[in-house]
Amino acid sequence: MEYRDFGRLGRISALTLGGGGIGGVWGSTDRAEATATVYAAIDDGITMLDLAPSYGAGAEAEQLVGAALRKRPAPDVAITSKVQLADDEQGDVAGRIRRSLHDSLTRLGRDHLDLLLLHTHLRPDAVPPTPWTTTWSAYRDEIVPEFERLRAEGLVRGWGITAVVHPDVLFAAFRETHRPDAAQVIVNAMDLDGGNSAFHGTPPAGDAIVRAANAHDVAVIGIRAVAAGALTSTLDRVLPADDPVAGDFVRAEPFRKLAADLGQTPAALAHRYALSVPGVATVVLGVKNRTELAECVTAEALGPLTAEELAAISAIR
């Protein structure tokens, strides 16, 4: 496993185990297999677990990881979790952040997080409210100060943002004196939004966001490497025909053909692409079992794609 610079937080494995898969977001799994996947990831050299209260009913991913690590401690493994602040009218931003963090720490059985991420998108103040967004003013005036207080109190080692839509606001966040330690950015071979930014009517701008984050020493966490399943051999969950990911899966047929021509599975090629993008510190895996994990770990061990392979992908984007 390759280890990469993760800014102010040290070094991290090139692959991160995400909580979405083990929490059942990306298709069904059971607790025994999900727990075995956590252990296998750690044994394979993965040094960060990326969780959130919304990953699974009853915060299943956090509950599962907390139980797993109480049974088999892994003190050197970094844990991230998230806080949602999407309701502009609710107020009490600092209190909501602290309550969410407290609940996550309780489920995990830890006294701090290595990274707390804002799990909502930033939007300009002039843009009308949309689901899963919070305003620039709320971020600058309330969220950032509270995140910095949590860091000073030792409740988090660092904090970060979801960096997907409204690039100009993200660029401003990177330029701030109190900038995030890390940013989660969509990074995939076909520049698909993985059912994410399309919800807000904003096309992906992952390449530009990665470059801007790097320019201001903000570590990049690559997400949606397989575009929520669109860049795999088959969708592993039933989706309505009009679901954005279902449409992306159809559009990704040339990618699957290219993977076959290169003698790789689509998922392996997609992860190798994300790992090959300059400036990406780690790529989050949405795997839900040990078989899917092994495919990704094997792909990582093959190393970066060649210039010819990258050119072939560029030609079908």
* pLDDT, position 17: 98
Q: Is the pTM of this model over 0.75?
A: yes
Q: How many residues does the chain have?
A: 317
Q: What is the pLDDT of residue 131?
A: 81
pLDDT at residue number 26: 80
Q: How open is the CA angle 217-181-280, to the nearest 5 degrees?
A: 60
Of 44, 281, 108, the C-alpha closest to 184 is 281
What are the pLDDT digits (tens) for 93-141? 999 999 999 999 999 999 999 999 999 999 999 988 888 899 999 999 9
Backbone angles phi, psi at 123, to 5 degrees: -135, 155
Q: What is the pLDDT of residue 233?
A: 94
CATH (one of 3.30.2030.30, 3.30.565.10, 3.20.20.20, 3.20.20.100) for 3-316: 3.20.20.100
Q: Give the Cα separation of 86 and 132 in Å (integer).
A: 5
Q: How far apart are CA 6 and CA 91, in angstroms?
A: 33
Which pLDDT does position 198 carry in this prediction? Answer: 58
Please state, in angstroms and rounded to a whole number, the distance separating the CA atoms of residues 264 and 276.
16
Asked whether the beta carbons of 316 and 64 are under 8 A apart, the reply is: no
Residues of the chain with pLDDT under 70: 87-89, 197-203
The pLDDT value recorded for residue 143 is 97
Distance CA 211, CA 232 (A): 27
**Domain spans, the chain:** 3-316
Report the pLDDT value the prediction gives residue 205, as an integer from 0 to 100. Answer: 87
